Amino acid sequence: MAIVETVNLKKVYLLGKVAIEALKGVSLKVKEGEFLSILGPSGSGKSTLLNLIGALDKPTSGKVFIEGVDVSILDDNGLAELRRRIGFVFQFFNLIPRFTALENVELPMAIAGLSKMERRKRAIELLEIVGLADRANHKPTELSGGEQQRVAIARALANNPRFLLMDEPTGNVDSKNADEIMRLVRHLNEEKGVTIIMVTHDQRLAKEANRTVYMLDGLIVDEVVNKP
């Protein structure tokens, strides 16, 4: 079964009297354990698609199925529960400035109701995985862009997500940090079996995925298998 499936997904944004068709009918299936990259120019609808898959926004028409469940039938509790099982990495990190790296990673576990001791232990483990155990007590402003992004990845992993949605995870970091993050992403996919959907502008990074879909003007226009 596909872990993620979208069926003829459309999204129209209304700005006053102007309607912007951000997605014009996107059908996509992602298999469990797959690493998929989404490549396409600015404005082609990549973030819109990712937000709909992550149930952060609702489509105008069409459907999203997560592990076979039609997301549109879920109530607020069901949606909150679903979002806890999805790891989301945003382009601009979205870390909480007054929290340390450790506290940022602990936050989703606090929301999920883990005890203080459990979440501290797991947050330290996660910071070790992303190579930042020695920065646990730094606030975001005291970290480089690449380090902040790695904290954001650790936070996305906090609740053991079955799949990870990443919007330009290397978009705001230099090439050395981008390579570091890609190593981590591959490790999560290959060693931990996490299903990954990654949006990127970068052709070179897109090729690291099993499969790449190309978006243009609200549609998937091409698809390439990099490594089966």
CB under 6 A: which stretch of 46-54, 76-84, 135-143, 179-187 binds ligand ATP? 46-54
CB under 5 A: which stretch of 12-20, 47-55, 122-130, 211-219 binds Mg ion? 47-55
Position among 9, 26, 37, 45 found at the interface with ligand ATP (CB under 6 A): 45
- Is 40 an interacting residue with respect to ligand ATP (CB under 6 A)? yes
- Of the candidates 12, 52, 44, the one whose C-alpha atom is nearest the C-alpha of residue 28 is 52
CB under 6 A: which stretch of 42-50, 72-80, 104-112, 144-152 binds ligand ATP? 42-50
How far apart, in Å, are the Cα atoms of 56 and each of 48, 79, 101, 167, 171?
10, 9, 24, 13, 21
- Of the candidates 214, 125, 177, the one whose C-alpha atom is nearest the C-alpha of residue 185 is 177
The alpha carbon torsion through 193, 226, 213, 41 (nearest 10 deg) reads 110
Closest to ligand ATP by CB, 19 vs 111, is 19
User: Which partner, ligand ATP, Mg ion, none, binds residue 149 by CB below 5 to 8 Å per kind?
Assistant: none
Closest to ligand ATP by CB, 92 vs 115, is 92
How far apart, in Å, are the Cα atoms of 88 and each of 3, 11, 207?
16, 20, 21
How far apart (Å, rounded) are the C-alpha atoms in residues 108 and 42? 30
CB under 6 A: which stretch of 27-35, 44-52, 60-68, 130-138 binds ligand ATP? 44-52
Tally Cβ neighbours within 10 Å of residue 174. Answer: 12
- Is 195 an interacting residue with respect to Mg ion (CB under 5 A)? no
Cβ–Cβ < 8 Å for 75, 82? no
Tokens of 83: 């979002």
- Is 48 an interacting residue with respect to Mg ion (CB under 5 A)? no
Cβ–Cβ < 8 Å for 137, 119? no
User: Which partner, Mg ion, ligand ATP, none, binds residue 161 by CB below 5 to 8 Å per kind?
Assistant: none
Residues in contact with Mg ion by the rule CB under 5 A: 47
**Site for ligand ATP, rule CB under 6 A:** 13, 15, 20, 22, 40, 42-48
